[in-house]
Amino acid sequence: MAGSPRVGVLALQGDVREHVRVLEHLGAVAVPVRRPEELASVSGLVLPGGESTVIDKLARSFGLHEAIRQAIAAGLPTYGTCAGLILLADRIVDAAAGQQSFGGLDVTVRRNAFGSQLDSFETELAISGWKAPPVRAVFIRAPIVVEAGEAVQILATIEDGRIVAVRQGSVLGTSFHPEVTGDVRFHRLLLDLIEERAAA
């Protein structure tokens, strides 16, 4: 569609189709990103859930790691869910040997903070600054933010106070998967950030 934002979804591994579906529902042109030239064609990026270690290794194998890191550092609006949040974190406390992130969020994350796949759960979350209804949050082998820098806005915590959604400038990260529950508000916020950047 003419005038619709082109939003990349890193398509190396993980729940790519779900994010593509949400973005297209919101009127964006969703572009699967597997090569640097595809990244260069988009005005925003989604990093999906999956296995952060696998996505990291594949991004380096496909020559994408440094390109994504530089794009985020240059202000590319980016949203990461679950593994995507890990990939956006500047620090990972229990990283696998050799694991790297793209960075962009001044946070420290812990992988698989809630346990195994069997420990997956759902809950309702109030998002800071958002009107009702709450977000229905699905946590699947989810990470947690254990430390956030001063520039990081904490958007949501679970009942015990642990941080599960953050924003720093044009970069968003959630421990959970709104793309699987039909809640489009985080993706809409990403599109708003893309629009703001284009108008600047």
Query: Is 187 one of the catalytic residues?
Result: no
129 is written with which tokens?
Answer: 């600054």
Which among 82, 150, 159, 195 is annotated as catalytic?
82
25 is catalytic: no
Query: What gap in Å lies between CA 94 and CA 125, rounded to an integer?
Result: 26
Residue 39: its H or E element: helix 36-39
pLDDT tens figures, 56-95: 999 999 999 999 999 999 999 999 999 999 999 999 998 8
Exactly one of 18, 19, 65, 179 is catalytic; name it.
Answer: 179
Categorize the per-residue pLDDT at 2 as very low, low, confident or very high, splitting at 50, 70 and 90: very low
pLDDT at residue 119 greater than cutoff 90: no
Kindly indicate the confidence band of residue 118, based on its pLDDT and cuts at 50, 70 and 90.
Answer: low
Residue 37 among the catalytic residues: no
pLDDT tens digit sequence for 127-156:
999 988 999 999 988 999 999 999 999 999
Polymer length in residues for the chain: 200
In terms of Cα–Cα distance, which of 200, 176, 188 is closest to 82? 176
Average pLDDT, the chain: 94
184/30 Cα distance (integer angstroms)? 14
Q: Selecting from 2.102.10.10, 3.60.21.10, 3.40.50.880, 3.40.50.2300, what CATH number does the domain 6-199 have?
A: 3.40.50.880
- Domain limits, the chain: 6-199
pLDDT at 129: 92
The catalytic residue among 18, 19, 65, 177 is: 177
